């Protein structure tokens, strides 16, 4: 048996190191916003055989993340409650993690390790693909970039679907490309299985179709014969015969993929088993209801997804929860509130993804992309058979990158770099092209230096991979001024906040506005919560008094995305604030007879307005400290709080 060479052993070491680096920071981070939902849903799929929870998030990553819990003695919340019947995964997840006597830290770490394994598999595919194009030296370049990528490390260490879909796109495109060039039972099976992997990971999977179309077009233009080996039959075909064979092969792969998708749902059409329903009715996701808002009605009209899903639903062609999830994602991707560079919008910005990619990709990686691109450009020689073959073999990477990037640019969901994650393996494979120029000593030395720089960047930001930003606009410390949500602050830093408070704020009043699904109470944090009721499952006082103390504000909450105060402090906000303050004083003194339910709504609104006025005033002040770059710390005196709440309106942010 041939022994593995030193480059291959180095790649194995790098991938094992990647998996360890991704998973080992789990104890440093609380649950990010989506993780509780994914793990709870996945566990319910295994135990209940019911798919009402989070059908839009991908069956496979949720099941995969929850798999270790089957060997643990964990307790699931009772099904005899509204949260289960109405598919309220947020309420059920909170109960599952924090109210059922389970160990949330162990559950979270087990699930994260499973996703880290998917990251290792993706890295192995990057190494193998790059080696086939650029040799072992190029493969090592690609693998080092992959292993020390802060963005991949961040999401390979979280129990979400982003790493699964990254692996899925890479594997499905490669399997499709291989099937286009040789038809065998193994390649048909690989194409079907990887398509199912992708389709069960995320509902951006239909993008595989145009990717395959571009690859098929390149294959037709090349016009080489097609080897076909089926059992004992072997023949080379070309022209229309090759086309018919490929149609048959991809049809067989699609049938296999469909069977695997059915299998993931227990070969049962209905997603809900027993009493209850999905979180939203079918009419809502199919967009058959009339929306009175003219602006919303313009965007919320049935489109291609609804047109395709309706007959598939009628024919029971695919499992109901898969069809529902696809339609749900299409419906709720039309609007998604987001923050970018001081602006808040619901339909995104064309410049969001190019900017966040530029600022969150390490500078040495960007430099290697440029070097590889320049080297490939110099090899574009007409009538060069060898050069033409290399560029032809780059076709699947180009198809994946172009289609996915084009889709991202038009997306209305601008909440995080994670939606670009499938592009990184493509670029890292392509960066292996620098090895083609290693006969130039300076290029080999420069590449080695850049790879060392990449490793240093990754180690320097550890364990705060999610918050990584390169130095182009000041690094992560000032990133909250331009980006929040899953680009920076996904609710991950409660353990760090607990340590900070224990060290720096003993005996002081603590105020907290937290974005995420973690539990400050479970982390041992005692604080007055402000304007974050959407993320707090515990009973809490409404409209609490605000005094001097330590204000701990998640970057996402600081930018007012998920509060009633958006787009800065306006004269309309000020007028409402003054009116509600006057009403609140009268109501508390007993001079106002507003019914209690209405009064509670007013008090919540007043709490949001107070918090919004405070944050608008703090925009011109640098935080006194921060935790993990995602939680801003302000020490305020009584007089400073009164100034922010009662002083001149902060109309200019």
Contact 637, 619 (CB under 8 A): no
Q: Report CA-CA distances (Å) from 454 to 6, 38, 436, 451.
A: 21, 31, 20, 5
If pLDDT is split at 50, 70 and 90, which confidence band does 300 have? confident
Per-residue confidence (pLDDT) for residue 540, from 0 to 100: 82
pTM of the model: 0.95
If pLDDT is split at 50, 70 and 90, which confidence band does 298 have? low
Q: Report CA-CA distances (Å) from 416 to 341, 498, 534.
A: 13, 26, 20
Is a pLDDT exceeding 90 seen at residue 2? no
State whether the Cα torsion 444-447-451-456 is positive or negative: positive
If pLDDT is split at 50, 70 and 90, which confidence band does 3 have? low
d(CA 103, CA 81): 22
Tokens encoding 22:
């991704």
Q: What are 234's strand-pairing partners?
A: 229
List all residues 6 or more positions away from 10 whose beta carbon is below 8 Å from its beta carbon. 140, 143
Helix (H) or strand (E) segment spanning residue 632: strand 631-636
Is a pLDDT exceeding 70 seen at residue 293? no
**pLDDT, tens digit, 9 for 90 and up, residues 393-451:** 999 999 999 999 999 999 999 999 999 999 999 999 999 999 999 999 999 999 999 99
Own/partner pairs, 85-88, CB within 8 angstroms, 24+ separation: 85/275, 85/276, 85/277, 86/276, 86/277, 86/279, 87/52, 87/53, 87/276, 87/277, 87/278, 87/279, 88/279
Q: What are 631's strand-pairing partners?
A: 554, 627
List all residues 6 or more positions away from 618 whose beta carbon is below 8 Å from its beta carbon. 558, 634, 644
Task: Determine how many CB atoms are found less than 10 A away from the CB of residue 505.
Answer: 18
Per-residue confidence (pLDDT) for residue 461, from 0 to 100: 97
d(CA 512, CA 531): 9
Tell me the average pLDDT across 312-330. Answer: 96
Per-residue confidence (pLDDT) for residue 542, from 0 to 100: 86
**pLDDT, tens digit, 9 for 90 and up, residues 577-631:** 999 999 988 888 888 888 989 989 999 999 999 999 999 999 999 999 999 999 9
Q: With pLDDT > 90 as the criterion, what percentage of the chain qualifies? A: 86
Cα Rg, the chain, nearest whole Å: 27
Beta strands in 294-353 (DSSP E): 338-340, 343-345
List all residues 6 or more positions away from 334 whose beta carbon is below 8 Å from its beta carbon. 299, 300, 347, 412
Q: With pLDDT > 70 as the criterion, what percentage of the chain qualifies? A: 96
Contact 142, 429 (CB under 8 A): yes
Per-residue confidence (pLDDT) for residue 297, from 0 to 100: 60
Is a pLDDT exceeding 80 seen at residue 56? yes
Per-residue confidence (pLDDT) for residue 292, from 0 to 100: 61
Q: Mean pLDDT in the chain?
A: 94
State whether the Cα torsion 301-306-311-314 is positive or negative: negative
Per-residue confidence (pLDDT) for residue 294, from 0 to 100: 61
Per-residue confidence (pLDDT) for residue 424, from 0 to 100: 98
As a whole number of Å, the end-to-end CA separation of the chain is 68
Residue 632 C-alpha from the chain's centroid: 23
Per-residue confidence (pLDDT) for residue 295, from 0 to 100: 59
Tell me the average pLDDT across 318-344. Answer: 94
**pLDDT, tens digit, 9 for 90 and up, residues 448-470:** 999 999 999 999 999 999 999 99
Per-residue confidence (pLDDT) for residue 383, from 0 to 100: 59
Tell me the average pLDDT across 49-67. Answer: 97
**pLDDT, tens digit, 9 for 90 and up, residues 255-282:** 999 999 999 999 999 999 999 999 999 9
Tokens encoding 557:
């909450």
Is a pLDDT exceeding 60 seen at residue 1? no
d(CA 125, CA 145): 13
Length of the chain counted residue by residue: 653
If pLDDT is split at 50, 70 and 90, which confidence band does 223 have? confident
């Amino acid at each position: 048996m041939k022994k593995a060479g030193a480059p291959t052993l180095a790649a194995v070491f790098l991938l094992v190191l990647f998996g360890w680096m991704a998973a080992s920071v789990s104890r440093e981070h609380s649950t990010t916003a989506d993780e509780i939902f994914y793990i709870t849903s996945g566990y319910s799929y295994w135990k209940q055989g019911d798919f009402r929870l989070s059908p839009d998030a991908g069956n496979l990553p949720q099941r995969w993340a929850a798999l270790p819990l089957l060997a643990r003695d964990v307790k699931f919340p009772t099904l005899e409650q509204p949260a289960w019947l109405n598919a309220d995964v947020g309420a059920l997840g909170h109960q599952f993690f924090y109210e059922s006597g389970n160990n949330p830290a162990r559950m979270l770490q087990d699930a994260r390790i499973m996703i880290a394994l998917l990251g290792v598999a993706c890295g192995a595919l990057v190494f193998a693909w790059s080696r086939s194009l650029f040799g072992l030296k190029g493969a090592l370049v690609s693998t080092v970039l992959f292993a020390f990528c802060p963005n991949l490390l961040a999401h390979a260490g979280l129990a979400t679907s982003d790493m699964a879909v990254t692996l899925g796109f890479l594997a499905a495109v490669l399997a499709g490309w291989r099937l286009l060039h040789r038809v065998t039972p193994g390649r048909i099976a690989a194409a079907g299985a990887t398509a199912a992997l992708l389709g069960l990971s995320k509902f951006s999977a239909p993008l595989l179709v145009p990717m395959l179309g571009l690859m098929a077009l390149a294959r037709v233009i090349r016009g080489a014969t097609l080897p076909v080996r089926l059992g004992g039959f072997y023949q080379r075909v070309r022209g229309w015969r090759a086309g018919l064979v490929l149609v048959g092969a991809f049809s067989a792969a699609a049938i296999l993929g469909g069977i695997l998708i059915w299998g993931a749902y227990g070969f049962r059409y209905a997603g809900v088993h027993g009493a209850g329903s999905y979180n939203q009715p079918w009419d809502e996701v199919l967009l058959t209801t009339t929306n009175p808002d003219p602006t919303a009605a313009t965007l919320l009209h049935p489109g291609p997804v609804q047109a395709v899903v309706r007959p598939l639903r009628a024919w029971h062609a695919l499992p109901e929860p898969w069809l529902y999830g696809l339609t749900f994602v299409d419906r709720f991707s039309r609007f998604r509130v987001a923050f970018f560079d001081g602006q808040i919008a619901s339909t995104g910005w064309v410049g969001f993804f190019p900017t966040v990619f530029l600022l969150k990709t390490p500078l040495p990686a960007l430099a290697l992309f440029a070097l590889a691109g320049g080297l490939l450009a110099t090899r574009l020689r007409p009538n060069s058979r060898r050069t033409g073959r290399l560029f032809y073999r780059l076709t699947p990477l180009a198809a994946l990158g172009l289609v996915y990037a084009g889709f991202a640019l038009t997306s209305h969901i601008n909440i995080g770099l994670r939606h670009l994650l499938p592009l990184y393996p493509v670029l890292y494979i392509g960066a292996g092209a620098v090895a083609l120029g290693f006969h130039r000593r300076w290029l080999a030395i420069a590449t080695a230096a850049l790879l060392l720089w990449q490793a240093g960047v990754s180690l320097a930001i550890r364990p705060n991979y999610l918050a990584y930003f390169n130095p182009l606009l000041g690094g992560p410390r000032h990133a909250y001024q331009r980006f929040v949500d899953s680009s920076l602050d996904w609710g991950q830093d409660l353990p760090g906040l607990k340590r900070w408070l224990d060290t720096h704020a003993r005996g002081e009043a603590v105020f907290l506005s937290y974005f995420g699904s973690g539990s400050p109470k479970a982390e041992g944090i005692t604080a007055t919560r402000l304007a974050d009721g959407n993320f707090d499952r515990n009973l809490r006082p409404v409209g609490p008094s605000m005094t001097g103390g330590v204000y701990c504000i998640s970057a996402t909450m600081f930018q007012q995305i998920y509060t009633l105060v958006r787009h800065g402090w306006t004269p309309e906000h000020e007028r409402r604030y003054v009116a509600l303050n006057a009403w609140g004083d009268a109501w508390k003194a007993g001079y106002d007879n507003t019914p209690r339910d209405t009064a509670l709504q007013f008090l919540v609104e007043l709490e949001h307005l107070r918090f919004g006025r405070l944050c608008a005033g703090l925009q011109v002040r640098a935080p006194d400290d921060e935790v993990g770059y995602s939680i801003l710390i302000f020490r305020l005196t009584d007089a400073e709080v009164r100034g922010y709440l009662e002083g001149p309106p902060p109309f200019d942010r």
